[in-house]
Amino acid sequence: MPIVRILITGPSGAVGDALARALTLADGHELRGLAREPARVRDGLALELVRGDVLSGAGLEQALAEVEVAYYLIHSMEPAASGGFAERDRLAAARFAQAAASAGVRRIVYLGGLLPGDGGVSAHLESRGEVERILLDAVPDSVALRASLVIGARSRSFRTLVRLIERLPLVPLPGWGRNRTQPIDERDAVAYLAAAAHAPGAGGRAFDIAGPELLSYGEMIERVGRLMLLERPQAGTWSGLGGIASAFASRVSGEPRELLEPLMGSLTRDLIADDAPARAAFGVRLHGFDAAVEHALRDWEATEPLGAR
């Protein structure tokens, strides 16, 4: 595989950090990172850091100079002074796409969200789809990957799930607790991202990526609890109380409500992947759910104790 110059946006995030480490170890690419706050990027990453912001456009020209492949791994579901996350994501994607096209970037690789098969798309997933279209329209050889819950020690969704199980003797299960999805090991999501930089015939396409098991959220809670050596009864509640549910989950987990509310709003339908095209195109070997959770918990405990373990 040829060595190329690659830009990773969001290198301080869970996936961006893991991807940078994987690309450095596996391929020796020349890596550059675009970060609003470079000081938040963890030590040990072999990449040139550029301070910048896709929403304002600051630093984009410098970050994209001579880049062949750019990873777009950012979102706007955080507390902000003004504007909703969908508007911020739209503006950021459009600004980044225009800058990438002007810089001659060959391929953008985007990690978005898995879409429901019945077309009932939440505001969060609709925004993810809009970002996908903006990026692929601007740089036609780009690749979009769509994932559901990513299981990793720094994944915000997974951390919320673990904190609820750890801190609540009775886990409230919303009405969507019976809905099903296919969570993916962070290692497998990163392997898909790394392969998407060069995969022939993948350009201009969107692929579902997923783990091998189809599970309801209630089943995930039960299995994560068992792996944490906990028995956590579940109680059906919160039906139709999305705002209250996200506020409660935020209070217990410590994650921002601005992040959790859109995410929880996306769980009201099954999110089932059609990942056969991705497996054929990228050849990624998948970890099972329990192996993914155990790996994530070990990584978590390496830097921070878990009270339940």
pLDDT digits (tens, 9 = 90+) for 258-292: 777 767 777 777 889 999 999 999 999 999 999 99
Token output for 115? 């879409």
Nearest-CA neighbor of 5 among 32, 37, 26, 39? 32
Query: Helices marked H in 28-84 — which ranges?
Result: 60-64
CA dist 25 and 27 (Å) reads 6
pLDDT digits (tens, 9 = 90+) for 46-62: 899 999 999 999 999 99
Asked if 252 contacts 170 with a C-beta cutoff of 8 angstroms, the reply is no
Helix (H, G, I), strand (E, B) or coil at 244: helix
Question: What per-residue confidence (pLDDT) applies to 115?
Answer: 84
The CA distances from residue 147 to 55, 60, 62, in Å, are 24, 26, 30
Helix (H, G, I), strand (E, B) or coil at 145: strand
- Let me know if domain 5-214+269-303 sits in CATH 3.40.50.720: yes
pLDDT digits (tens, 9 = 90+) for 96-150: 999 999 999 999 999 999 988 766 678 888 889 999 999 999 999 999 999 999 9
Percentage of the chain modeled with pLDDT above 70: 90
Q: Could you tell me how many residues make up the chain?
A: 309
Domain boundaries, the chain: 5-214+269-303
> Residue 238 above 80 pLDDT?
no
Residue type, 241: L
Contacts of 32 (CB under 8 A, 6+ apart): 5, 6, 7, 8, 47, 48, 49, 50, 63, 67
Q: Which of 67-76, 82-91, 110-119 has the highest mean pLDDT?
A: 67-76
Given strand 107-113, what is the order of strands in its sheet? 48-51, 30-35, 5-9, 69-72, 107-113, 143-147, 205-208
Question: What per-residue confidence (pLDDT) applies to 306?
Answer: 82
CA dist 159 and 173 (Å) reads 17
> Residue 240 above 60 pLDDT?
no
pTM (predicted TM-score): 0.91
Please tell me which residue, 86 or 195, carries the higher pLDDT value: 195
Q: What is the average pLDDT across 37-52? A: 90
